[in-house]
Amino acid sequence: MTALLDIENLSKHFPGGVRAVDGISFHIAPGETLALVGESGCGKSTTSRLALRLLEPTTGSIRFNGEDLRTLSPAALRRRRRDMQIVFQDPYASLNPRMTIGEIIAEPLRVHGLAPTRAAMQARVAELLDRVGLPPDAAARYPRQFSGGQRQRIGIARAIGPNPSLVVADEPVSALDVSLQGQVVNLLQDLQEQLGLSYLFVAHDLAVVRHIAHRVAVMYLGVIVETAPADRLFAAPHHPYTQALLSAAPEPEPGAVRNRIILQGEIPSPRAIPPGCRFHTRCPLAQDICRAQTPPNQQVAPGHTAACHFAAPYPIPTESRR
């Protein structure tokens, strides 16, 4: 299998000893959606910027279509950006308030010379607006004239404009009302089917991820603690952190048995990462070995890895589980 995006041992350390991303590896196949899930501050947004080399990594490699993005010159990287786009979390701040919607959507097209004439540009912008469910006359208007959900559609239209093969979606729906979240997720899913896109879908909400992800990677404090195909991860989490996150997500079926696992304390600062397993300060299963040794990333099933000394299906015992 050739991956579209193949990231290895990627890390980003900020001045002051902050290890925001601390050696992570993952890959995304063509047409696949990998969800990157974790609490605020776990480094998932930083990872999404590193994956596109919008941030300069401290170590590691980013292979996109087999080519290491880190070896590219600035000009070559800019050309390559046609193929990898991003949708932002904040639908308000991600659109320049002084540009019309048409100008905003046209920007990547113009940069890469994808619409040589004025007429071609107008036609392409209208087509993109139509794809995301907005009327063609939206092109002449300004961002402030649109709601959050509509603005996110504009951001998506801008991202798919140059026909990328990878779109990084950094919490694309977490700023939206729940009623709109589903619409935007469905739109992203439809676009994936129509255009064969791959997504790196960053989220803190497992309920959103359940609908769109093919595979899920769970991040905690700068590392990936568990990776698995989506249905497997939801059916049989092997890392206690994943289990705790899942227990916090709302159950889609009314009346389903829920046993919330409440984690103690706060996520530690990336400035002072605990030794051994970095989850041990909050883990209900923590033993001496967890405080001393970093757990290896072990494969528990094909395509399913977990970094825990006690990796097992539902590692945290709960009364109602038989």
Partner 1 sequence: MRHPVTLICLAIVVAFVAIAAFGPLILPQDPLAQSFIARLKPPSAAHWFGTDRYGRDVFARVLLGTRWSLLLGLAAPLIAGTLGTLIGAFAGFYGGWFDRIAGRVADLLMAFPSLLLGILLAAALGPGFGNLIAAVAFAFLPRFIRVARASTLAVRSEPYVEASFAAGEHPLRIVLRHVLPNISGPVIVVGTLWIATAIRIEATLSFIGLGVQPPAPSWGNIIRDGLTNILGSPWPVVTAGFTLTLCVLAFNIVGDAVRDALDPDYRE
Binding site for partner 1 (CB under 8 A): 52, 54, 77-82, 85-86, 88-90, 93-99, 107-108, 111-112, 155, 158, 162
How does DSSP classify residue 176?
A: S
* Closer to partner 1 by Cβ: residue 93 or 178: 93
Alpha helices by DSSP H, listed for the chain, are 44-51, 74-80, 101-111, 118-131, 148-160, 178-195, 206-212, 230-235, 240-248, 288-292
DSSP string covering 48-59, please?
Answer: HHHHTTSS--SE
The three-class DSSP label of residue 203 is: strand
Query: Could you tell me the CA-to-CA distances from 161 to 31, 36, 188, 193, 224 in Å, in that order?
Result: 17, 24, 14, 16, 31
Smallest gap from Cβ 41 to partner 1, in A, equals: 18
Task: Please count the other Cβ atoms lying within 10 Å of the Cβ belonging to residue 134.
Answer: 20
Question: How far apart are CB 81 and partner 1 at their closest, in Å?
Answer: 3
Nearer to partner 1 by Cβ, of 78 and 321: the residue is 78
Closer Cβ to partner 1, 93 or 235, answer by number: 93
Q: With respect to partner 1, which residue has the nearer C-beta, 111 or 140?
A: 111
The residue type at 118: R
- Beta 198-203 vs 33-37: how paired, if at all? parallel
Phi, psi of 18 (to 5 degrees): -85, 115
- Could you tell me the smallest distance in angstroms from the CB atom of residue 91 to partner 1? 9
Supply the minimum distance, in Å, between the C-beta of residue 47 and partner 1: 15
Rounded least distance, CB 257 to partner 1, Å: 41
Which is nearer to partner 1, 169 or 216 (by Cβ)? 169
The smaller minimum CB distance to partner 1, of residues 201 and 310, is found at 201
State in angstroms the smallest separation of the CB of 168 from partner 1.
8
Of 209, 206, 214, residue with least CA distance to 185: 209
